[in-house]
């Protein structure tokens, strides 16, 4: 009887030591949700350059990446062969104005992911990296190439439920 109990305990410890399996359908649902969040910004949504991509790294967490153009600027064509300095300045100013909207949207996306990705263990992270697209003629001074936000799922969930401020739940916020 004692040997059977020890065998059962050993089996349970092996089962519990295995990394969590996060369903692909859960990750795919968050990819679509992220895309919709980026496209649903009123009159002037961000332009997605391809769809959000996500994956789960066992023992680390869920990682999502997207590529976004903050605002579509003028493009060169046979009918428009130069971009005026005024257009370049105006585009730069508008992109600077849009950065806080993107950061706020990214924070909201992380909090939503924490609530939706039940398969991801509470101790693992949820990471969102956004690469910003710029055309060669653009002035990128003061504009990041990437924005990275991440946090432990349990802390993000606490923020979603109002237990802690969202900023306190984000372990890393980087612009580079």
Domain-located, residue 2: no
| Cα torsion 147, 56, 108, 105: sign | positive
Domain-located, residue 8: no
The reported pLDDT for the residue numbered 135 is: 95
Domain-located, residue 33: yes
Q: CA angle, corner 129, sides to 126 and 130, nearest 5?
A: 145
**Contacts of residue 41, Cβ cutoff 8 Å, sequence gap at least 6:** 101, 105
CB 78 within 8 A of CB 122: no
The beta strands (E) that lie in the chain are given as 47-48, 53-57, 61-69, 125-132, 146-152, 172-175
Q: Is 174 helix (H, G, I), strand (E, B) or coil?
A: strand
Domain-located, residue 6: no
Residue range(s) defining the domain that contains residue 103: 22-175
Print pLDDT tens along the chain (176 aa). 555 444 444 444 444 455 668 999 999 999 999 999 988 876 778 999 989 999 999 999 999 999 999 999 998 899 989 999 999 999 999 999 999 999 999 999 999 999 999 999 999 999 999 999 999 999 999 999 999 999 999 999 999 999 999 999 998 899 99
Q: Which two tokens stand for residue 110?
A: 């992380």
The reported pLDDT for the residue numbered 59 is: 96
Domain-located, residue 12: no
pTM of the model: 0.86
Closest CA to 112 of 45, 42, 52, 49: 52
Domain-located, residue 57: yes
According to DSSP, residue 49 is labeled: S
Domain-located, residue 144: yes
Domain-located, residue 147: yes
Domain count across the chain: 1
d(CA 118, CA 109): 15
């Amino acid at each position: 009887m004692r040997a059977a109990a020890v065998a059962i305990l050993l089996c349970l410890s092996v089962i519990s030591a295995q990394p969590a399996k996060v369903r692909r359908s859960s990750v795919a649902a968050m990819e679509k949700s992220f895309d919709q969040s980026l496209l649903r910004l009123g009159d002037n949504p961000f332009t997605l350059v391809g769809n959000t991509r996500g994956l789960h790294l066992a023992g680390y967490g869920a990682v999502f990446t997207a590529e976004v153009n903050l605002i579509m600027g003028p493009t060169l064509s046979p009918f428009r062969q130069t971009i005026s300095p005024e257009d370049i300045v105006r585009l730069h100013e508008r992109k600077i104005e849009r950065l806080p909207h993107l950061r706020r949207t990214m924070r909201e996306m992380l909090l939503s992911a924490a609530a939706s990705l039940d398969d991801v263990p509470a101790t693992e992270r949820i990471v969102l990296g956004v690469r910003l697209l710029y055309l060669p003629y653009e002035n990128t001074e003061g504009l990041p190439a990437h924005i990275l936000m991440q946090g432990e799922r349990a802390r993000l969930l606490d923020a979603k439920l109002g237990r802690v401020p969202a900023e306190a739940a984000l372990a890393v916020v980087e612009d580079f």
